[in-house]
Amino acid sequence: MGYLILSTVIKVLLFPAYRSTDFEVHRNWLAITHSLPISQWYYDATSQWTLDYPPFFAYFEKILSIPAAAIDARIVDLNNLNYDSWSVIVYQRSTVIITELVLGAALLKFIRSAVDPPTQRIISASLFLHPGFLIIDHIHFQYNGFMFGILLWSILMARNGKKLMSGILFAVLLNFKHIYMYLAPAYFIYLLRSFCLSPSGQVEIKNFLALANAVIVVFGVSLAPFALTGQIQQLLSRLFPFTRGLNHAYWAPNAWALVTAADRILLKYVKSTGKHIPVNLAGVASTSRGLVGDTVFAVLPNVKPIHTFTITIALQSIILIKLWFHPTYKSFVTALTLCGYSSYLFGWHVHEKAVLLILVPLSLLAAERHAYFRTFVIATVAGVFSLFPLLFTPAESVVEVVYSIVWFAMIYLPLSKRVYEFPKSLSYVILDIIEKIYLGGFLVLQIFVALFPILSRRKGADASGMEFLPLMVTSVYCSIGMVWGFMRLIFIYLHEDTAYQGQLSTIQ
Amino acid sequence: MGRRWIRWSHKRGMRSSLIGLVTFACVFLKLGLGLGPYSGENTPPMYGDYEAQRHWMEITVNLPFNEWYTYDPQYWGLDYPPLTAYVSWICGIVAHSINPSWVALDSSRGIETAGSKLFMRGSVIAFDTLVYVPALLLFSRMWFVTRSKRTQDLAFLHLMLHPALLLVDFGHFQYNSVMLGLMVMALNCFAIGYDLAGAFFFVLSLGFKQMALYYAPAVGSFLLAKCVLLGPKEGGRLFVRLGLITIATFTVLFIPWIPPFSSSTRAILVPISRIFPFARGLFEDKVANFWCASNIVMKWRKLAAQAILVKAAAVLTLLGFLPSVAVIGKVAWELKTLIPSEAEEGSKLDDKQPSNFSNTPILPLLPYALLNSSMSFFLFSFQVHEKTILLPLMPLILLFAGATPDSEVFQWGALGSNVAVFSMWPLLKKEGLALQYFALTLLWNRLIGYNPLKIMSTFYSMKSFVHVLSAGAYMAIIFLHLLEPIIIPPARYPDLFPVLNVLVSTPVFVCLWLWSIKCCIQVSWAVTGPSGAGAESIDRPRFSSIVSDTNERPSSFRAPISRGVVADRVRTISLGPAHGKRARRSSTHSVPGSTSALPSSVSIFRGNTTVNDRMPDS
């Protein structure tokens, strides 16, 4: 209760904060679902922010639009674009806070019947007050808290052995936001192996049918109205726009960010030495456009969607094979994290907000062992830091940094003592020091990013063309941490049986 | 919630980083508040307090000293004492180096860019963190020296998150925390006996905002009483030193307006007349004090001329703070007559630590006296603003911070601060800080573990006067808050709700004022014994040191008996339960029967101002 009041107070204070275009996107969806018949939802293009979430989210907006219309009819006026009076701000921001209670409830349930309730309490509180949610949901504006609430309910059901329920909830979640497909392979394998097959490998036909039917019903409820009116084609084209580039506007800190950065450095190198290496002219143009738009490499071979797809699938299959042979709860959560992680690192057009898909399930593992905890720390710091550029207005940037530091200290201090392990050999000590230096580097980076505008203004005009430098450095530095975190986690996961036994291993 | 959290973090080994965490978290909260609107946002041509503060930066950084107080007084002319001006000057210089357009003379009027807003908000937070936060931290360490680390941390947390100051400084936009911080620093110095430093800080506080004058009667009488208590020789010397320090500090503050640096001797009158504008009315807007509340019945401004009203206000204010001054004087006098020789003897014995001794018997009176004098100023003086409630609130929450939840001080403190925040509601609402008002009030009440609803639902139990009063006040407050969105005030009374607000708040403040008098008297009894002049037959209280006991205790324990007795007698009242233990322990060291000093624990800060006498076999 205390946490709830604290977090609500914080979020209420953020009401007047900066709002991204996502705020208008969601307002527009309220208007679409309220004023148009269901057959028009996925066709409407009055605003450029067309509806591109799956049907459950559209239904959800429909429900939200009913009180909205009662409060202020202008909120749901389709042609009232960029409406931002105090009433719509308060209403939309409140709906985020209220729907986030789903997350709160799931986290509370996690504490009950946890292996180690005091530790789980810290983790639950950390998730509920996660700076990622604060930045993306309460300032930038989205409904991630609500949807991660559903995801955590589903994971909780898996922990409590109600696997059918877990599968249903995940299917529901998929119909709210299709980005959770990143996690679907882990779910599929886990439920197939542990629910539809008996430990000895016999097919549990009853379970299988129950699960299959349940999932079909969920999808049926979601899609039927659109299938019946023949809109599936249109719906899919809205949901999966494959026309976008490899990197998002500003590079999400994944493997492609590193590759892109390497390409830019190579190009500089080629230009300065004048070596005869074929240079793609479109790529040269692409660099000068800064970070906006499609990415075309100048020196390195270009990456196509099929490449990203292949790498992701290959990595995921390693993880899934392991999961197949060890379908325990802990293994499942780790595999879930890793699936999200590999999609994030190697996926096509990944948005930096997707980092929550890694951080949230990873948090559940934070208190397992020191190795997990350290992975959690690195991924969290890098991931949260990579979200900072989402907010570029001065006041909000300070707010997010200060909040993240406080939050991090509140998690790090109690947990680090709990999981501390003495390093086993010299190599561990060296690794530990390097990681600490890396983490310390974020402070330097933050100072650099904060001072850069002032410094470049002092220098005058010669800094033009460099205005993307802070973003680029941020992205590259974070992606080092993200990739390293992935390597750590996959190593831990594959060595699980021999080396890493934590408290969650007791859950079957 | 706060208590539980402190316990949790102490157990989790976060003890050492707790203060940093709390400070940082508060910085976040203040930044969050800063995202909201401020006084006079988007309201040309005059804007509000925010623009006033920014404008002062603009004129101080661009103009020579002698024009500071004279430049275009119609547009937010500088009307605070010089320290504010110097602080604005520093801010102005920093602002100028970051972005000159923020403080460009004249052309920057009403500038509202995101960058300048962040800078202004940041400057308040920076000064708050530099002055107010360390002062509170030292306060929690020095005044609760005998209490556990947890209690100290909790007190710090309670003080840090107090909504009234947060809302005014970081929402509305002012620099009150600097003045209050300097005042708390003065109190800290008094607590450890550095009276000269205390006087210095008090003058600085006055030099930042003339409002600190509300504390002057209490501080002045406290210091005078101390001089009396020290006897003619020591006391006289202290008196002269205090006078010198005060005059010197004032001189330094006003130096640009004093002859060698200014053209004429009359230059000093310019800032003075700007700082004390007696030409304004009895009260502005609607403020929850005596004049405004009674104005509903008696139209003061029609009944009497301005000059008479000024005098009446002065007389009433004087009468208002007289009790505490009188009590301090009486206590000093009685202690003086009770232990004249020993005090002097003690001063000789304790030459090594001359001033952290013997000031302290009257120290526990000081917070109550501050409350009394500032509240009387708030209620009865001239030209009071609703934000001024912060001044009486400060001693109240300082007292409150260390109180246990079932004590009377806790009840009064929580009631006082909630009503104080409520009394600023019309102002905050006007500025669009309604959400922040509700959020912070809720957070703080939750933090201190105080539930107004529970108090309302148990009012019939008639536990105590303050309980019933709180229940009544909260009912009225909630009723008004519910009523306000529903009922549109009739055209004849557009100020209906502010007036009702005043009518709810004023009685509570009057009760607080009466309570502070009562407490002064009770504490004075605790210090001198119930009937004072009864001299030797009375159980005299024994005081335990307020100074860090790690330094004091061993020496007083091992001291020869004669000295131990003296030391015991003049050491002052402790602030908590740990004291009782120590008194018992040290009583075994004193030889029974050889002295008339009897142990008694006086724990004012826990709210029960009872004298708990334990008679040794004599």
Structure-block tokens of residue A251? 């590079």
B36 and A13: CB-CB below 8 Å?
yes
**DSSP labels, A70-110:** HH-GGGG-TT-TT---HHHHHHHHHHHHHHTHHHHHHHHHH
The answer to whether the CB of A144 falls within 8 A of the CB of A133 is: yes
**DSSP labels, A173-239:** HHTT-GGGGGGHHHHHHHHIIIIIB-TTS-B-HHHHHHHHHHHHHHHHHHHHHHHHTT-HHHHHHHH
In chain B, the N- to C-terminal Cα span, in Å, equals 47
Positive or negative torsion for Cα B437, B440, B446, B447: negative
Spell out which residues of chain B touch residue A85, defining contact as CB-CB under 8 Å.
none
A13 and B35: CB-CB below 8 Å?
yes
Q: Nearest by CB to A15, from B27, B31, B435: name it.
A: B435
- Determine, yes or no, domain membership for A392: yes
Residue with token string 């293009």 = A45
B435 and A402: CB-CB below 8 Å?
no
**Chain centre to alpha carbon of residue A36:** 31
Structure-block tokens of residue B588? 């075994």
- Determine, yes or no, domain membership for A348: no
The residues on A that touch B, with CB distances below 8 Å, are 2, 5-6, 8-10, 12-17, 90, 393-396, 398-399, 402-403, 405-406, 409-410, 413-414, 417, 454
Quote the pLDDT of residue A498.
59
Distances (CA, A) of B409 to B417, B522, B523: 12, 13, 13
Task: Mutation target for A interface from B28, B97, B428, B433: give the one with most A CBs within 10 A.
Answer: B28
> Could you give the CA distance from residue A311 to residue A373 in angstroms, rounded to a whole number?
27
With a CB cutoff of 8 Å and minimum separation 6, the contacts of A143 are A26, A57, A60, A95, A96, A99, A137
Under DSSP, is residue B16 helix (H, G, I), strand (E, B) or coil?
Answer: coil
Q: Of B240, B233, B241, which Cα lies nearest the Cα of B347?
A: B233
B24 and A406: CB-CB below 8 Å?
yes
> Could you give the CA distance from residue B147 to residue A452 in angstroms, rounded to a whole number?
48
Q: What does the pLDDT average to over A381-408? A: 89
Q: What is the 3-state secondary structure (H, E, C) of B71-95?
A: CCCCCCCCCCCHHHHHHHHHHHHHH
| Among A215, A236, A257, residue at a domain's last position | A236
Residue A231 has pLDDT above 90, yes or no: no
Spell out which residues of chain B touch residue A454, defining contact as CB-CB under 8 Å.
98
Determine the longest span between alpha carbons in chain B, in angstroms. 80
Nearest CA in chain A to B121: A395
Structure-block tokens of residue B354? 């001359």
Give the count of alpha carbons within 13 A of B531, CB side only: 5
Q: Is B5 on the interface with A (CB under 8 A)?
A: yes
What's the number of domains chain A is made of?
2
A417 and B33: CB-CB below 8 Å?
no
**A to B CB pairs, distance under 8 Å:** 85
Task: Mutation target for B interface from A71, A406, A411: give the one with most B CBs within 10 A.
Answer: A406
Quote the pLDDT of residue B568.
38
The answer to whether the CB of A323 falls within 8 A of the CB of A194 is: no
> Could you give the CA distance from residue A340 to residue A170 in angstroms, rounded to a whole number?
14
Compute the nearest-CA separation of A405 from chain B (Å).
8
Q: Of A71, A74, A70, A90, which Cα lies nearest the Cα of A28?
A: A74
Query: Which residue type does B403 have?
Result: A
Quote the pLDDT of residue A507.
67
Nearest CA in chain B to A119: B12
Q: Of B205, B210, B180, B173, which Cα lies nearest the Cα of B431?
A: B173
Return the DSSP state at A350. B
Q: Which of A27-41, A157-171, A492-506, B429-443 has the lowest mean pLDDT?
A: A492-506
B17 and A454: CB-CB below 8 Å?
no
Q: Nearest by CB to B118, from A395, A410, A414: name it.
A: A395
The pairing of strands B600-601 and B612-613 is antiparallel
Pick the more confident residue, B242 or A76.
Answer: B242
Q: Of B390, B411, B362, which Cα lies nearest the Cα of B168?
A: B390
| Angle, vertex CA A394, rays to CA A392 and CA A395, nearest 5 | 120
With a CB cutoff of 8 Å and minimum separation 6, the contacts of B322 are none
Quote the pLDDT of residue B539.
37
The answer to whether the CB of B7 falls within 8 A of the CB of A118 is: no
| Among A177, A208, A236, residue at a domain's last position | A236
B28 and A17: CB-CB below 8 Å?
no
A394 and B33: CB-CB below 8 Å?
no
Quote the pLDDT of residue A453.
76
Residue A149 has pLDDT above 70, yes or no: yes
Quote the pLDDT of residue B566.
35
> Could you give the CA distance from residue B617 to residue B588 in angstroms, rounded to a whole number?
12
Instruction: For residue B597, list its beta bridge partners.
Output: B540
B436 and A12: CB-CB below 8 Å?
yes
With a CB cutoff of 8 Å and minimum separation 6, the contacts of A383 are A132, A253, A355, A356, A358, A359, A478, A482
> Could you give the CA distance from residue A278 to residue A44 in angstroms, rounded to a whole number?
45
Structure-block tokens of residue B157? 């947390």
With a CB cutoff of 8 Å and minimum separation 6, the contacts of B242 are B195, B196, B199, B223, B227
A2 and B1: CB-CB below 8 Å?
yes
For residue A204, name the pLDDT band (cuts at 50, 70, 90). confident
B439 and A12: CB-CB below 8 Å?
yes
Pick the more confident residue, A230 or A477.
Answer: A477
Nearest CA in chain A to B113: A394
Task: Mutation target for A interface from B22, B31, B112: give the one with most A CBs within 10 A.
Answer: B31
Residues 69 through 108 of chain B touching chain A, CB cutoff 8 Å: 98
B28 and A12: CB-CB below 8 Å?
no
Whether A368 and A231 map to the same domain: the answer is no
Quote the pLDDT of residue B125.
93
Q: Of B453, B470, B448, which Cα lies nearest the Cα of B400?
A: B448
> Could you give the CA distance from residue B21 to residue B447 in angstroms, rounded to a whole number?
16
The pLDDT tens digits for A93-144 are: 999 999 999 999 999 888 887 888 888 888 998 999 999 999 999 988 999 9
Cα dihedral B268, B271, B273, B277, rounded to 10, equals -160
- Determine, yes or no, domain membership for A11: yes
- Determine, yes or no, domain membership for A306: no
E strand or H helix at A342: helix A329-346
B121 and A395: CB-CB below 8 Å?
yes
A402 and B31: CB-CB below 8 Å?
yes
Pick the more confident residue, A200 or A405.
Answer: A405
> Could you give the CA distance from residue B69 to residue B275 in angstroms, rounded to a whole number?
9
> Could you give the CA distance from residue B289 to residue A431 in angstroms, rounded to a whole number?
66
Whether A231 and A374 map to the same domain: the answer is no
Structure-block tokens of residue B618? 């004599």
- Determine, yes or no, domain membership for A352: no
Compute the nearest-CA separation of A20 from chain B (Å).
15
Spell out which residues of chain B touch residue A414, defining contact as CB-CB under 8 Å.
9, 12-14
Residue burial A453-478, b: 16+ Cβ < 10 Å; e: rest? eeebeeeeeeeeeeeeebbbebbbbb
The answer to whether the CB of B367 falls within 8 A of the CB of B188 is: no
The pLDDT tens digits for A451-492 are: 887 777 766 655 555 667 888 888 889 999 999 999 999 998
| Among A209, A236, A263, residue at a domain's last position | A236
The pLDDT tens digits for A234-254 are: 888 888 766 666 666 567 788
Task: Mutation target for A interface from B19, B26, B443, B444: give the one with most A CBs within 10 A.
Answer: B443
Spell out which residues of chain A touch residue B438, defining contact as CB-CB under 8 Å.
12
Q: Of A118, A231, A161, A27, which Cα lies nearest the Cα of B12?
A: A118
Instruction: For residue B540, list its beta bridge partners.
Output: B597
Compute the nearest-CA separation of A9 from chain B (Å).
5
With a CB cutoff of 8 Å and minimum separation 6, the contacts of B70 are B77, B270
B35 and A454: CB-CB below 8 Å?
no
B36 and A10: CB-CB below 8 Å?
no
Residue A360 has pLDDT above 90, yes or no: yes
Angle between helices B561-570 and B549-558 (to 10 degrees): 140
Structure-block tokens of residue B268? 């000093």
Provide the strand spans (E) within A315-367: none
Quote the pLDDT of residue B590.
38
Compute the nearest-CA separation of A291 from chain B (Å).
25
| Domain coverage including residue A17 | 2-236
Average pLDDT of every residue of chain A: 84
Spell out which residues of chain B touch residue A395, defining contact as CB-CB under 8 Å.
31, 34-35, 114, 117-118, 121
- Determine, yes or no, domain membership for A80: yes
Q: Nearest by CB to B25, from A15, A398, A406: name it.
A: A406
Distances (CA, A) of B549 to A161, B145, B343, B504, B599: 58, 8, 21, 44, 17
Q: Is B307 on the interface with A (CB under 8 A)?
A: no
Q: In A240-278, which residue ranges form alpha helices assigned H by DSSP?
A: 255-273
Nearest CA in chain A to B23: A406
Spell out which residues of chain B touch residue A12, defining contact as CB-CB under 8 Å.
435-436, 438-439
- Determine, yes or no, domain membership for A309: no
> Could you give the CA distance from residue B553 to residue B558 in angstroms, rounded to a whole number?
9
Regions of chain B with pLDDT less than 50: 341-359, 531-618
Nearest CA in chain B to A400: B28
Spell out which residues of chain A touch residue B112, defining contact as CB-CB under 8 Å.
none
- Determine, yes or no, domain membership for A300: no
Whether A47 and A194 map to the same domain: the answer is yes
Residue burial A206-229, b: 16+ Cβ < 10 Å; e: rest? ebeebbeeebeebbeebbeebeee
Cα dihedral B591, B597, B598, B599, rounded to 10, equals -90
Q: Nearest by CB to A10, from B17, B32, B446: name it.
A: B32
Give the count of alpha carbons within 13 A of B322, CB side only: 8
> Could you give the CA distance from residue B31 to residue B170 in angstroms, rounded to a whole number?
8
Quote the pLDDT of residue B283.
64
Spell out which residues of chain A touch residue B24, defining contact as CB-CB under 8 Å.
402, 405-406, 409
Residue A177 has pLDDT above 70, yes or no: yes
Quote the pLDDT of residue B280.
61
A5 and B121: CB-CB below 8 Å?
no
Percent of chain A exceeding pLDDT 70 equals 89
